[in-house]
Amino acid sequence: MHTTGLELFWFILIGVLWAGYFFLEGFDFGVGMLLTLIGRDDLERRAVINTIGATWDGNEVWVIVAGGATFAAFPLWYARMFSAFYLALFILLVALIIRGVAFEYRGKRQSATWRRNWDIVITVGSLVPALLWGVAFGDLIKGIPITANGIFTGSLLSLLQPYALVAGLATLSLFLLHGALFLNLKTTGALKERASALAGRIAPITAVIILAFLAWTWEVARTEHHAGDVPGMIPVSALLLVVAASWLNRERLSGWAFTVTGVAILAITATVFMTLYPDVITSSLSSAASLTIAEAASQPYTLRAMTIVAAIFTPFVLLYQGWSYYIFRRRVSLPHETVPASDQPHEV
């Protein structure tokens, strides 16, 4: 079946939504995973949480919109993906729920044990999605045992194939680096120094994992049953940006370091979607059983109506989120630290 302009537009838009989610929620996950490493006592951990306290739940809206857009624009993709990944997505959803609960409940009691336990929940609730999102997209590219009529014949273990695990480690390590650089950008004093030092240690490991993932992805796109054509400059640029982030961090250019890891996330997401195209789910049983964009798409009328709604409301959403980041742009510091008047922190 031939892919129409509207179907391609919505496939690209869904890719943009996932890229935005990984860019924004990526540093949230990184901050959560680094919580107990950067913060050495309750006061410091409260400061670390405060760096994302005003924005983390807003960042999660991106994945809700991405899921809703997939359901409306490509209902067959949505149905088959959730059927195949049912247990994995359930685990991921539980992790996201307990993470949100932990943010709200850790301050309800003064007990050190109570808060320490919730801090562990935040760490685990951030680590699991950071890993599983990469595994899920790796499975979509490499292929899962699904028949032509959409029946998933595998198990949870069959989703943990080597390529998918490397993809999961790639997102995990990249989000860790992104989060460390965000903390370097948003904190002061000892917290900032620890975040910078940790980013310097994470960056080389991340670069090696990203190299392995991109090289394997290139090989999958070249040799297996994918018609996707990924320009070589995109994955190469993603790797170079990760390397550049390490140098920028050493030069104490924290804003630029954080920016280039964000652009690397966008480039890697683009690589994933361009490799997947024109499929939305790849079958490991037979290339004929793979689900294409055209086969999964809604009717043209639905896509036209969705396009009009998206064109009207998307600018307002982007403006609001940009405004919220502007309002909470200042660094977070501990009460005993002094910072310039132009960069006063939020209260901890």
Tell me the per-residue pLDDT of 117-154, one tens digit each, with 9 for 90 and over.
Answer: 999 999 999 999 999 999 999 999 998 999 888 888 88
- Region 14-25 average pLDDT: 94
| Phi–psi pair at 109, nearest 5 degrees | -135, 155
Mean pLDDT of 323-342: 71
pLDDT above 70 as % of the chain = 94
Instruction: Enumerate the domain spans of the chain.
Output: 5-332
How far is Cα 130 from Cα 128, in angstroms, rounded to an integer? 5
Enumerate residues 6+ apart whose C-beta is below 8 A from 59.
21, 24, 25, 28
Q: How confident is the model at residue 346 (pLDDT cuts 50, 70, 90)?
A: very low
CB-based contact 182:30 (threshold 8 Å): yes
What's the pLDDT tens digit per position in 50-63? 999 888 888 888 99
Instruction: Tokens 């994470």: give the residue.
Output: 202
Cβ distance 118 to 250 under 8 Å?
Answer: no
Band (pLDDT 50/70/90 cuts) for residue 156 is confident
Q: What is the pLDDT of residue 235?
A: 82
End-to-end CA distance of the chain: 57
pLDDT average, residue stretch 264-270 = 94
At 167, is the pLDDT very low, low, confident or very high (cuts 50, 70, 90)?
A: very high
Q: What is the DSSP string of 84-120?
A: HTHHHHHHHHHHHHHHHHHHHHTTS---HHHHHHHHH
